[in-house]
Amino acid sequence: MAWFSPDMPRPSPNMDDAGFWEGCAARRLRFQYCAQCATARHPPTPICPACRGTEVRWQEAPAQAEVYTYTVIHYAAHPAVNVRLPYVAAVVTFAGVDGVRLVSNITDCEASAVKIGMPVQLWWDDLGDGMFVPRFAPPGARRSA
Amino acid sequence: MTVVEGSRSRCCIVGIGQSEYTKWGGIKDRSQFQVTAQAILAALDDAGLRPEDVDGLTSYSNDSNEPHLMQVALGIPKLRVAAMVWGGAGGGTCGSVSLACSAIESGRADVVVAYRGLCQGQARRFGRHGPGRVNGNFVDPFGLMAPPQMLAMIVQRFMHLYPITADHLAEVALNARANANRNPRAVMHGRTLTREDYFAARWIAEPLRLYDCCLETDGAAAVVITSRQRARDAKSRPVEILSAVQGSGPGWGNGALSGHNMPDADYASTGYRTLAPDLFGAAGLAPKDIDVAQIYDHFSGMVLMALEDLGFCGKGESGAFVASGAIRWPDGDLPLNTSGGQLSEAYVHGMNLIVEGVRQMRGTSTSQVKDARTCLVTGGLGVAPSSAIILGRT
Ligand SMILES: [Zn+2]
């Protein structure tokens, strides 16, 4: 069962970001890199801002990340989040993946335990119909993951 | 960065107009479009001009009050400029004025009205999930859906990196309310706010509490811009536009209202360090020359960052700056958001801040800064593109 309610907005892949979501469908967190100059970028864009190349490759990120910043959200901007209030939205970074930050959630811990700099572990939330999204939890917090 | 010294705008604001401001859903008897049209008429009347004199209309932030329909409604015989600055939500506030100046200075228009109508009771509440978020695929599924949540992320890191506390955030909110309590037009005119009230209020998105967040309101505001030469005939006292800038630094398009991928050195900031040199340079002024400021207060913590990014204090020093009383009317060095701002007057996407800037330069604010000769006004902070103007007393 998905972490938020089933009516939560789902990713709707487009021509520019489909590669990211194809990776997610295979439960692989892959970021877009320029095939020419190897600059990583996120969210995906069709042209490399460093060299203007259009060829890309998708490279898998480590499953361990670090909290760069976060917020504990206490109100429902959408009815689908009610089941999780208050919940933590965070920006996470990955060692060795420079220039890329990912917006996600920190789950399976008290909101008050979340700190900038804390290590977190990737897990995949099954939204159904072959769609998975990456979320994060403290290492070891999800036994089944 | 190229700063063109002496490239002062040759334009003035000659009229200001607004509707009543109410809590969202408070304007029930007229459409948002009508409310906006009436704000434009009020601004023209203030200037001593008629719709027949107008040949340009500008706005920002996907204003749904479209200029060609406004032309029909107001009976404008000939429109020569109908333009809106891109994106950035309230970032375009001063951009719409900058655009008007460009049109006037290049001879493509003579009299331009920059306007914004926003009745959240008739459209949608900005604190809720809505369609069309930039890179929505990378935020919506994670419950990061609305500006208070998105900008709370930046404020959190800002408070982690620098000696900024909840008391400093509170000071921005309390200052706005104290100013609103003197301003009969303000939605929060009759409602006082104490430090205890501030800390007792509910969390919205940590570290932001209820009173750290702007109001959700109904209202419209407009300003009339024309050449300095033509401004001499205005009915009300013209206010000079000393500088007007719009723009953004690298990565901010994927910034706080999107995937949070602006440069690391710039993350815990408003993005205004990119704009500041041109803003002050074109006016030939420095931060110390600014007498009063209207800084876009969608969220208290962002205002603190802006004080640093615009050079009113050093990096990480904004907490101490506001704690010293610097932003308080009447004795502070830089009285701030003197109408009550968007935390306590109304959230007209920043257009009400420009209107208040004009009042300060005319000497008609309800928290009038004595002998004020310059007023800095910003558009939305932490968004892209953003914008700012410096107004001068004539
Ligand atoms: Zn490249």
Average pLDDT, whole number, for chain B?
95
In a domain, A12, yes or no: no
Residue B285 lies in a domain: yes
Q: Are B236 and B111 in contact, with CB atoms under 8 Å apart?
A: no
pLDDT for B37? 98
Q: What is the pLDDT of residues B117-159, one digit of tens each?
A: 999 999 888 889 988 888 999 999 999 999 999 999 999 999 9
Which domain, by its residues, includes B112?
11-125+213-393
Q: How confident is the model at residue B98 (pLDDT cuts 50, 70, 90)?
A: very high
Q: Is B168 domain-assigned? A: no
pLDDT at B18 over 50: yes
What is the band of B7 on the pLDDT scale with cuts at 50, 70, 90? low
**pLDDT for the residue numbered B384:** 94
Percentage, residues of chain A above pLDDT 70? 98
Mean pLDDT, range A41-58, rounded to an integer: 97
- Chain B residue numbers touching A135 (CB-CB < 8 A): 142
CB contact under 8 A, B142 and A74: no
The reported pLDDT for the residue numbered B131 is 84
Judged by a CB distance cut-off of 8 A, whether residue A4 touches chain B is yes
Confidence band for B5, pLDDT divided at 50, 70 and 90: very low
Contacts of A49 in chain B (CB under 8 A): 250
* CA A35 to centroid of ligand 1, rounded, Å: 7
> What single letter denotes the amino acid at residue B181?
N
Asked if the Cβ–Cβ distance from A81 to B250 is below 8 Å, we say no
Q: Which residues of A touch B142 (CB under 8 A)?
A: 89, 103-105, 133, 135
| pLDDT at residue B2, rounded to an integer | 40
Residue A65 touches chain B, beta carbons under 8 Å = no
Local confidence band at A1 (pLDDT 50, 70, 90 cut-offs): confident
Pairing state between β B203-205 and B239-247: unpaired
Tell me if B261 and A100 make a contact (CB, 8 A cut-off): yes
Domain containing A37: what range? 18-137
B115 as an active site residue: the answer is no
Phi and psi dihedrals of B234, rounded to 5? -65, 150
Q: What is the model's pTM? A: 0.97
Best mutation target, B137, B158, B252, B299, to test chain A (most A CBs within 10 A): B137
Residue B134: the pLDDT is 86
Smallest CA–CA separation between B125 and chain A, in Å?
Answer: 10
How far apart CA B16 and CA B41 sit, in angstroms, is 9
Q: What is the pLDDT of residue B30?
A: 97
Rounded distance from Cα A99 to ligand 1 centre (Å): 13
Domain count, chain B: 1
Share of chain B above pLDDT 70, in %: 98
Q: Residues, chain A, total?
A: 145
Q: Is the pLDDT of residue A67 over 70?
A: yes
In a domain, A127, yes or no: yes
Write b or e for each residue in B316-325: b if 16 or more Cβ atoms lie within 10 A of its Cβ, otherwise e: bbbbebbeee
Residue B90 lies in a domain: yes
Give the pLDDT score at B50. 98
Chain B CB within 8 Å of residue A43 CB: yes
Q: How many CB atoms lie within 10 A of CB B178?
A: 16
Q: Note whether B149 contacts A89, CB cutoff 8 Å.
A: yes
User: How many CB atoms within 10 Å of residue B394?
Assistant: 15
Asked if residue B142 is part of any domain, the answer here is no
Identify whether A84 is part of a domain: yes
Q: Which among B139, B202, B267 is the nearest to A103, CB-wise?
A: B139
B296 is catalytic: yes
CATH of the domain at B28: 3.40.47.10
Q: How far is CA A63 from CA A31, A96, A116, in A?
A: 12, 12, 18
Residue A98 lies in a domain: yes
The string of pLDDT tens digits covering residues B337-389 is 999 999 999 999 999 999 999 999 999 999 999 999 999 999 999 999 999 99
Considering only CB atoms, A72 lies closest to which of B137, B154, B206, namely B206
CB-nearest to A133 from B141, B154, B258 is B141
Does some domain include residue A106? yes
- CA–chain centroid gap for A65, Å, is 10
3-state SS, chain B, equals CCCCCCCCCCEEEEEEEECCCEECCCCCCCCHHHHHHHHHHHHHHHHCCCHHHCCEEEEECCCCCCHHHHHHHHCCCCCCEEEEECCCHHHHHHHHHHHHHHHHHCCCCCEEEEEEEEECCCCCCCCCCCCCCCCHHHCHHHCCCCHHHHHHHHHHHHHHHCCCCHHHHHHHHHHHHHHHCCCCCCCCCCCCCCHHHHHHCCEEECCEEHHHECCCEEEEEEEEEEEHHHHCCCCCCCEEEEEEEEECCCCHHHCCCCCCCCCHHHCCCCCCCCCHHHHHHHHCCCHHHCCEEECCCCEHHHHHHHHHHCCCCCCCCHHHHHHCCCCCCCCCCCCECCCCHHHHHCCCCCHHHHHHHHHHHHCCCCCCCCCCCEEEEECCCCCCCEEEEEEEEC
Count of domains for chain A: 1
In a domain, A123, yes or no: yes
Q: Identity (one letter) of the amino acid at B316? A: G
Which residue of chain B comes nearest to A127, CA vs CA? B141
Please say whether the beta carbons of B334 and B312 come within 8 A. Answer: yes
Burial track B330-349 (b if 16+ CB lie within 10 A, e otherwise):
eebebbbbbbbbbbbbbbbb
Q: What residues in chain B have their Cβ under 8 A from chain A's Cβ atoms?
A: 127-129, 135-146, 149, 152-154, 156-157, 160, 202-208, 250, 254, 258-261, 267
Q: Would you say residue A62 lies in a domain?
A: yes
Segment A74-126, tens digit of pLDDT: 999 999 999 999 999 999 999 999 999 999 999 999 999 999 999 999 999 99
Residue of A nearest to B257 (CA): A103
Residue B306 lies in a domain: yes
- Tens digit of pLDDT for each residue in B264-293? 999 999 999 999 999 999 999 999 999 999
Q: Phi and psi of B41, rounded to 5°?
A: -60, -40
B3 — pLDDT class (breaks 50, 70, 90): very low
- 3-state SS, chain A, equals CCCCCCCCCCCCCCCCCHHHHHHHHCCCCEEEEECCCCCEECCCCCCCCCCCCCCEEEEECCCEEEEEEEEEECCCCCHHHHHHCCEEEEEEECCCCCCCCEEEEECCCCHHHCCCCCEEEEEEEEEECCEEEEEEECCCCCCCC
Q: From the list B139, B154, B261, which residue is nearest A42 (CB)?
A: B261
**pLDDT of res. B148:** 97
pLDDT in tens, B203-234: 999 999 999 999 999 999 999 999 999 999 99
| pLDDT attached to residue A145 | 47
A71 in B contact zone (CB under 8 Å):
yes
- ipTM score of complex: 0.98
Dist CA B55 CA B82 (whole Å)? 9
Chain A neighbors of B267, CB-CB under 8 A: 68-69
